[in-house]
Chain A
Amino acid sequence: MDKILVGLKRVVDYNVRVQVKSDGSGVETDGVKMSINPFDEIALEEALRIRERGDASEVIVVSIGTAEAQQQLRTGLAMGADRAILVETSDAIDALSGARVFKEIVDREGADMVILGKQAIDDDNSQTGQMLAAIWGRPQATFASEVVLDGDKAKVTREVDVGLETIEIDLPAVITVDLRLNEPRYVKLPDIMKAKKKPLDQIPLGDLGVTPGPAVNAVEFAPPEARQRGITVDDVAGLVSALKDKGLV
């Protein structure tokens, strides 16, 4: 296999307790820590391992967003990606347009595999990989917890609700990854220095011929209905009687 594309989305760090702005216009992102979507780090780790085993020659990380996403791409380069592409746009991009962007890059690069996170932890949509596979007319192996390559095929084990499902797919294909696929490596300082010299291309969204939309538009944001802290019991007897009071046991 020649090239693997990996998507890296810049999102609010998973440790941040996200707050809805008081006017309902969005969530607070000012001064909030931003990171690579955790699933995308796992996607990149998998691509790097495939390359390190000699089953691919190049790993390219791709992000769609503002110039700030260069930070996440640099981190990806420091992890070990060979080069990076930033598709620049100041507008939030919908999932289908995101998939179209990836399809354009796939065509330009002649990629054999695209590995993405199974969802982004900001909009929790879980759509882009499946949509890319659809418009590319290629297999999708979503929610992967194991990927075994075998020439121009791959066996992928998927986390489904009743257990684990294994499918076989022909390459090229799209894989979206679940948390248990691997544990991403830590970036070391010398790698950060090296990453500064690796190529990072910037392509304006317009150059790819993708016009965003029609999107599913956000109209209003609200905090979730909060659950209230209830009672504290002192011991098992107290717990049993509280459960009995509610008719639960």
Chain B
Amino acid sequence: MSKVLVIAEHDGAALNPSTAKCVACATTIDGAKIDIVVLGASVSGVASEAAGISPVARVLTVERAENEHAIAAVFAPQVAALADDYDYVFGPSTAFGKDLMPRVAALLGVNQVSDIMSVEGSHKFKRPIYAGNAIVTVEAPGDSKVVATVRTASYQAADGGNSAPIESTDVNVELPTHTRFVELQAGQSDRPDLQTASKVVSGGRALASEENFEMIFKLADTIGAGVGSSRAAVDAGYIAPETQVGQTGQIIAPDLYIAIGISGAIQHLTGIKDAGTIVAINKDEEAPIFEVADIGLVGDLFQIVPELTDALS
């Protein structure tokens, strides 16, 4: 039997879908028995959500005032202590998991396997490197624990319908006070979240201003899509940073991705490799985005986008 501990990601109110994707990855390990741990100040709601994920055996909760915010330096010693009973410790390759998991790995004296795309054996995994330009099969030492992040875009969330037992645990470790939460400025948006949206409309540098991005929002709202962007658009201040898609932004896998005025730099393409259908709208027929697009339309976005929005309304 292989015991897997999945670290839940949540905001205190709701479980992040990345958790069910980590469970999906864990189920592909031979003989996996999967527990989820939820750290927080008060997590009963989140824990019952986690208990619904199949085929989770048990949900552990660690409730302490210090756990109100996900501070890696505070969470890591607790996770490392819990890891004693497990062969695998998995977290999502989101900002939360990327921050926390390497700190856990170092406390356990192992390297981390980053961004698992597939499980190839008990200690063998595939992962992307060079912005996804190469896929490497890696092997972690057979005699030590595997600490890993799961590339969430490679997995569909595990099914619900479970009702795993929830157990509260104490972890007796000293927690540092050297790192303190100050504030979170979350983007205000009623639009679908990029990680879970089935459709995403993205705008690039060609939009040329914050005002022009309204066009992207309109099209997105017309088809119920989330809104993404390229780094160039974010750097120019046209749109909020959390919308950036790519190597250093979000890695996403919607059914439909519409790239508008985006050239298709490798760093951007890394973020959409797993999209179902890619549509590219670009005035330059040589733009690299067309090499990966399922449907290409060459032309001026300022004409095409309003017309398209009308046609789909």
Binding site for B on A (CB under 8 A): 12, 14, 17-20, 27, 94-96, 99, 118-119, 121-135, 137-143, 145, 155, 158-170, 173, 178-180, 214-224, 227, 229-240, 242-243, 246, 248-249
Contact = CB atoms under 8 A, between A and B. Distances in A.
A155 B111 CA distance: 29
A246 B138 CA distance: 37
B134 A20 contact: yes
B298 interface: yes
Contact of B290 (A14, A99, A229): A229
A19 B130 CA distance: 10
Given A224-B135, A232-B297, A249-B312, 15 more contacts: A17-B266, A27-B129, A27-B133, A124-B115, A127-B112, A155-B182, A163-B184, A163-B187, A179-B235, A216-B141, A221-B134, A221-B135, A221-B136, A232-B295, A233-B296
Interface of B: 11, 71-73, 76, 94-96, 98-107, 109-115, 124, 128-141, 144, 176, 178-187, 195, 199, 223, 231, 234-235, 240-242, 247-248, 250, 255-256, 266-267, 273, 277-279, 290-299, 304, 307-308, 311-312
B130 A229 contact: no
A163 B279 contact: no
B296 A232 contact: yes
The dominant DSSP class at the B interface is: mixed
17 contacts: A96-B105, A96-B110, A118-B248, A124-B114, A130-B106, A143-B99, A155-B182, A160-B184, A161-B96, A161-B195, A165-B185, A167-B180, A214-B141, A218-B138, A231-B296, A233-B295, A243-B256
Contacts of A140: 72-73, 99, 103, 179
A133 B311 contact: no
A224 B253 CA distance: 16
Q: Which of A167, A215, A218 has the most CB of B within 10 A?
A: A167
Contacts of B279: 239, 243
B178 A170 contact: yes
Contacts of A96: 105-106, 109-111
Nearest to B267: A14
Nearest to B126: A222
A45 to B, nearest CB: 15
Contacts, number: 249
A218 B136 contact: yes
Given A17-B266, A232-B297, A236-B307, A220 B223 contact: no
A133 B297 contact: no
A126 B297 contact: no
Given A123-B129, A248-B256, A239 B297 contact: yes
Given A159-B241, A236-B307, A240-B312, A229 B135 contact: no
Contact of B106 (A135, A163, A215): A135
A229 B242 contact: no
Contacts of B98: 126, 142-143
Given A167-B180, A216-B113, A219-B138, A231 B242 contact: no
Q: Which of B144, B180, B199 counts the most A-chain CB atoms under 10 A from its CB?
A: B180
Contacts of A160: 95-96, 184, 242
A95 B248 contact: no
Contact of A161 (B95, B138, B307): B95
A113 to B, nearest CB: 13
A163 B186 contact: yes
Q: Can you list the 4 inter-chain pairs with the closest CB atoms, starting with the nearest?
A: A230-B294, A134-B106, A130-B102, A131-B106
Most A C-beta atoms less than 10 A away, residue of B133, B234, B255, B266: B133
A130 B106 CA distance: 8
Most buried by B among A12, A17, A217, A238: A217
